Amino acid sequence: MGTNDDAAEKILDGITVVDLTTFVTGGFATLMLANQGAEVIKVERPELGDDNRHSGPPFVEPNEEYDGPGRTADANGESPYFWTINYDKLSVEFNLKTDSGLEALYDLVEEADVVVENFRPGTAERLGIGYDDLRELNDDLVYCSISAFGETGPWSSRPGYDLLVQGTSGIMSVTGPEGGDPVKVGLPQTDLITAMWAAFGIVGSLFRRELTGDGDRIEIGMHDAALPWLTKQAGKAFVGEETTRMGTKDPVLSPYQAYPTADGYLNVGCANQKLWSELCEAIDRPDLIDDERFASNPDRVANMDELEEELSAVFRERPTEEWVDLLAEDHGLPVGPVYDVATALDNEQTEARDVIREIEHPALGTVPVIEHPLNYEHATAGFDEAPPLLGEDTEAILDGLGYDAEDIDRLREEGAIPDDE
C-alpha cells in the first residue's frame, strides 16, 4: 500500500503479540494487528497446531523438495482457509502441559506487549496462563480473552462457535427468504465481528498504555459482540415491531434489494426520493413516480411486494451488465451486480485497488493474499510474509529468548517442543 512519507512505518511496529488462539476469532484479530506491523507469534499445540490448519478440503500439497523448518499439520497439506487468517505470523510449538513448555511461554510473555486467548472461561487459569498469572511476569501486558458467551451469566460455561452465536444473536432470524427457514450468513460473521472488536480493544488499550503506562485486560463474548450489529433490526424490536426474514429486501428502505435480470441479479439501492425518480426515468417507467403506492419511501416499504413485481418485470428484460452500464455508468445510480466469490476476487475494481496479491511461500512457491483496506497518508500497512508452517519459528524464537542448543535439546527431551522430523 502506498504512502507519501518515505520514512513511514507501520502503526504497530515494535509491538509483539503472543497468539494463543485457535480458529477464527482470535486469529483474525491478530491478523489485523500483523497487517499493521505487529510481530504476531502463534503458540500452537505440538504436531496438531491450530485447528484451522485442518479446515478443508481443499488442501494444497507442499513442494517435495522443501527441507526447511516447519511442516504441514495435516497429512493432506496446507489449508487455504488457514492462509487467509494467518499471513505475516510466526509459529512456535510449545506443549503447555509440560513445566518446561510453560516456562518457555513465560519467557516469551515477559518480552511481549499483548496476549490473546480464546479458551473456554477458566481454561487459561487452569493452565497457568490466565491474566493474573501473566501479569506477574509483565505488569504492562495487554491481555485479551475471547469466549462464546463471556465470563459471566448463565451461558458462560457453554462452548460456542459462529453457528451457535449467529443463532443466539438474532442474525439467523432475519437472514434467508421470506417465509423460509432461518439461514446462516455464508461466512463466519460473528467470528469476524468479534475479531474486529478484539483488535479495536487491543489497539485502544495500547494507546491508553502509552498515556498511563498501565496494561489492561479485555474480555469479550461473541454473543455480546454481535448484538450491536443488529442496528435497524434492533431499532424495530425496541419499539415492539416484528423482525422477520425478508430475503434481500430491507425493513426500512425500498427499493433496496436484488432483482432478477435476464442472466443473473442486480442490486438496486435507490431508496431516497431523488434517486427513486431518477431510476424510474432511466428505466423508462416515469409512471411509477406518480403511482400513489410508491409516492414516498414509507409508501414503497408498505407496498414492497407490488414494487418488486413491477421492477422485476423491467429488469428481466436485459442482462445484468447492460443494466449496470446504463444505470451505474451512464446515470450514476447506486446499482451493481451480484458476483460469486471468484468474480469478487478477480475483477477490474479489485485489481485496480491491488487487494489481491501473491506472497512467496517457502514450501508452496507463492500463495494469494487478501490485503486489508486501511490506506494511510503517513504510515504503511500490509502483509509481507506468507502464513507460517507449523513450528517454523520455534528454534529462532527460543534463540532470541536466550536459549542455546543445549536448552533446546532439553526442551525436546522433556516434551515441551517436538523432536526434529
Catalytic residues: 191
Question: What stretch of H or E contains 41?
Answer: strand 39-44
Q: Which of 254, 243, 312, 306 is nearest to 283 (CA)?
A: 312
Q: Residue 318: beta bridge partners?
A: none
The letter for the amino acid at 5 is D
Nearest to 93 by CA among 362, 389, 402, 406: 389
CB 12 within 8 A of CB 35: no
408, HSE (Cβ side, Cα atoms, 13 Å): 18
Handedness of CA 94, 97, 100, 103 (dihedral sign): positive
Q: Return the number of other C-beta atoms located less than 10 Å from residue 405's C-beta.
A: 10
* Sign of torsion over alpha carbons 181, 186, 188, 192: negative
Place of cell 504441514: 72
Lookup: cell for 56: 478443508
Q: Are 105 and 96 in contact (CB under 8 A)?
A: yes
Q: Report the C-alpha gap between 163 and 352 in whole angstroms.
A: 34
How far is it, in rounded angstroms, from Cα 105 to Cα 359?
29
DSSP E strand boundaries for 156-295: 216-221, 256-260, 265-269
Buried b (16+ CB within 10 A) or exposed e, 186-216: eebbbbbbbbebbbebbbebbeebeeeeebb
Which alpha helices (DSSP H) does 136-228 contain, by range?
162-168, 189-212, 222-226
